[in-house]
A = this chain, B = another copy of it.
Amino acid sequence: MTALLLIDIQQGLQEMEFYGTERSNPNAEANCQKILNVFREKKWPIFHVQHCSTNPASPLHPSKAGNDFHPLVKPLENEPIIQKNVNSAFIGTDLETRLKSRDISNLVIVGLTTEHCISTSVRMAANLGFKVTLISDATAAFDKIGVDGKRLGADIIHNAALANLKDEFAQVTNTTTLLKELID
């Protein structure tokens, strides 16, 4: 069985100045919503992962409005929410147990950010034995300053992160292709 994992699609991740100076894929949240809608129609399992930062300055700290889900992907009452406070959705949570107890072996993963929580959760999901499909345009990255002090743009960070995950940890596809496969 296949489940959809929506990771950290929260309002706080709109606060650009906390995370970088630019972001890739402005349509990531809209694409996540399209995929979520199909999983809802099909009544397939959905898990919303919510980052609850332990850093009081973080827009994702539970005391902040930014901790709330992005309006496009707000969980319905019957949809489980997995709260985490590290990058991996599998550390400090019962996500692995929940997935395995429901015989879920395939995961479609979307959310934020490509280079931090998505990369970490995809890597760990794959190493735990799940077959992962990552949706390239339903995730997004922020730019970074490299160890040499030079800036690496959001698109380079996004593309390099996906290239590292591709084949080794996940099949990488895009929203249009996924939706075509799911609806066919």
Given the interface pairs A147-B163, A159-B148, A163-B152, the reply to whether A168 lies near B123 with Cβ below 8 Å is no
Q: Which of B86, B146, B161, B163 lies in contact with A162, CB distance below 8 A? A: B146
Chain A: interface residue total (CB-CB under 8 A): 33
Cβ of A116 under 8 Å from chain B: yes
In the complex, per-residue mask of A134-171: 1 if CB is within 8 Å of any chain B CB, else 0: 00100000001111101010001101111110101100
Residues of B within 8 A of A156 (CB): 156, 160
Within the assembled complex, what's the spacing in Å between the Cα atoms of A144 and B162? 10
Cβ of A87 under 8 Å from chain B: yes
Residues of B within 8 A of A127 (CB): 86-88, 91, 120
A147 touches B162 (CB 8 A): yes
- 8 A-B pairs with the lowest CB-CB distances in the bound complex, closest first: A160-B160, A144-B163, A86-B127, A115-B164, A146-B163, A120-B123, A91-B127, A88-B127
Residue of B nearest to A127 (CB): B86
Cβ of A73 under 8 Å from chain B: no
Within the assembled complex, what's the spacing in Å between the Cα atoms of A86 and B128? 9
